[in-house]
Structure 1
């Protein structure tokens, strides 16, 4: 390890992981990893701009310039940073509530009729990997559909159906609630073709009346209200890194 750089316990402290004293104990206990190697020596120096640092297997974000946000996009809003026709878009929310927002990528496009979780970040590599189908990051939705969903639908969707642009299947399916003339179902899948959830459900005879994306990977919407933005926790950021191999 190079002599130049910043002491590892100081980097962990500045990243908000723990006080320096607690960070030192973490290092001695073998809980800290730098560039794939467990570090137990307290004198270790690192380059925080280049080194990949993990605590308990979860990557630590050490760059203060990086922004990681969760937006609950409401129905009627477009998943773009600007709109030539003046329609409401997520860029409007970002402009009013996030400082230094010019370089944010939006991850997890949703059609205007769908509510739910969209991630916003200026971490280009993370955004690229989260959007790339090869990393297969799962996305979970709650859909209100017309009709009573019988047993066997989940098996059909897991095995896959043939859509006009090729076969598609879900990773998980569950009936959450049965309402008069409607059903509430939960679907998890990892592909992101246009309107894929709506098309899948309509294909098997259950048109979607309302759709909400509740999770991308380990990041969940929870009780977050529509048109609000929150900062991702350190654990959530680490889980996203882990999901795409960063």
Structure 2
């Protein structure tokens, strides 16, 4: 009786050790020859708390993609304002997308967007930064640090920041903002001294806009010319 009880316990333990699948045995009449046992088809059990949850992103706006080769207005001049709201001695000449809406979000910053587009489609930002007196390398490092800081701050809406295509004049950054997957290209030009960062241009949008974004920032960047009046004039 003692050995019989132990044998039953071992069989129960072996079946219990296969957790995660439901196994059902079928009674088979005794016959001459080896005994056969049938099993129900195993079915996976869904986890209550998946170890790797799938992230759901917002759907991209369905505005047409930014295409390479869009027409540009050449030689547009942008002038930064001083602390009193008057034109400063720092200006920038550059080509900008023809027909896009221009708005100023700061005394030395401008945004360009295609009329009628969703705010999460694509656009361009230009900023004169020479008053910060940073080198191009320092300006890029500070900007990357700001991106990384935004990524780790729980109150911010930006996360999953990843830098690619970095060089001595800028970078590409992939990120998520408000649940939308986004891409941005940012570049800096030096002042006439060849060292101090003078201005930056950024083009941002969706993955489908990347070809047009790269073309646009290359054209605009090549056209950017710093203008600095002598002090006191």
TM-score (norm 1): 0.26
Question: Highest Rg: 1 or 2?
Answer: 2
TM-score (norm 2): 0.27
